[in-house]
Amino acid sequence: MNWTNLLSGLIGAVVGGLASIIGGLWATNKNIKAQNTVLLKQEQNEHRKNQLIAKASAKTMMDR
């Protein structure tokens, strides 16, 4: 084993480590975006549901 092999292995390990970190950050970012999308859709559905309930309540009050 000589210095060239050691240096090559060290560079490979550093590049591999950086790639792993970047890949992990990218995946985390994608998961956060997906979670935010789900939360936004849930909030929109809740808002629609509340609007329908309010509309039905108003109609019930008008029908009395």
String of DSSP letters for the chain? --HHHHHHHHHHHHHHHHHHHHHHHHHHHHHHHHHHHHHHHHHHHHHHHHHHHHHHHHHHHHH-
The first and second tokens of residue 15, run together, are 């590049």
Confidence at residue 18, expressed as pLDDT on a 0 to 100 scale: 98
pLDDT in tens, 22-52: 999 999 999 999 999 999 999 999 999 999 9
Q: What is the mean pLDDT of the chain?
A: 94
The first and second tokens of residue 8, run together, are 């090559």
Confidence at residue 64, expressed as pLDDT on a 0 to 100 scale: 67
Whether the pLDDT of residue 12 is over 80: the answer is: yes
Q: Where are the domains of the chain?
A: 14-59
Please report which confidence band the pLDDT of residue 61 belongs to, taking 50, 70 and 90 as the band edges.
confident
Confidence at residue 33, expressed as pLDDT on a 0 to 100 scale: 97
